């Protein structure tokens, strides 16, 4: 397998997780700035620790030889992406969607966070807008 296969798997995981996190978020809930910061840090830390644990478990349970090295690494990457990537990124983008709603932006703006070169700046930028007041619904 080649690097192109690794990139294709990573893109598939990112697109799937982004869709499930943002497009399927119809809760109407909001997340304040401090809660957003803690949630993003917690999710990223959990994904990092989960990746290390799954990597260690797979590395100790699979016999890696020179003949199957590339195939084994690819299988490990796919397993890690699907066990850690999809649930972690789905939770992350759901939080980002809620933060966009709280800041007064449309939740679909959270799709910008899926662009790899913008991710870090986008997540930091969402810390700065103040929360907007919830719209008051009056019945006539």
With respect to residue 62, please indicate whether it lies within any of the assigned structural domains: yes
- Quote the crossing angle between the two packed helices 69-80 and 33-61, to the nearest 10°: 150
Output the pLDDT for position 21: 83
- Mean pLDDT in each 10-residue stretch from start to end of the chain (140 residues)? 72 81 81 91 92 83 78 79 85 90 86 82 87 66
Residue numbers of the domain that contains 73? 3-125
With respect to residue 90, please indicate whether it lies within any of the assigned structural domains: yes
Output the pLDDT for position 138: 61
With respect to residue 73, please indicate whether it lies within any of the assigned structural domains: yes
Q: Is the dihedral of CA 102, 108, 109, 113 positive or negative?
A: positive
For 56-90, b/e burial (b = at least 16 CB within 10 A) is: eebeeeeeeeeeeeeebbbebbbebbeebbbbbbb
Output the pLDDT for position 140: 59
Output the pLDDT for position 1: 53
- Identify each DSSP E strand in 1-92 by its residue range: none
With respect to residue 135, please indicate whether it lies within any of the assigned structural domains: no
For 97, the token pair is: 């969607």
With respect to residue 130, please indicate whether it lies within any of the assigned structural domains: no
With respect to residue 134, please indicate whether it lies within any of the assigned structural domains: no
C-alpha–C-alpha distance, residues 1 and 113, integer Å: 29
With respect to residue 96, please indicate whether it lies within any of the assigned structural domains: yes
Q: How many domains does the chain have?
A: 1
Residues 22 and 91 sit within 8 Å (Cβ to Cβ)? no
For 24, the token pair is: 């399927």
């Amino acid at each position: 397998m080649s690097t192109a296969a690794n990139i294709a798997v990573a893109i598939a995981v990112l697109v799937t997780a982004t869709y499930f996190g943002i497009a399927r978020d119809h809760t109407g809930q909001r997340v304040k700035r401090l809660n957003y910061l803690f949630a993003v840090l917690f999710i990223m830390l959990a994904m990092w620790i989960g990746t290390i644990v799954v990597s260690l478990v797979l590395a100790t349970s699979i016999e890696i030889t020179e003949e199957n090295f590339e195939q084994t690494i690819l299988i490990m990457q796919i397993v890690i992406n699907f066990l850690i990537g999809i649930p972690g990124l789905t939770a992350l983008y759901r939080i980002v969607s809620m933060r966009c709603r709280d800041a007064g932006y449309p939740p679909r703006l959270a799709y910008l966070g899926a662009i790899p070169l913008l991710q870090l700046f986008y997540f930091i930028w969402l810390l700065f807008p103040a929360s907007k007041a919830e719209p008051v619904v009056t019945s006539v």
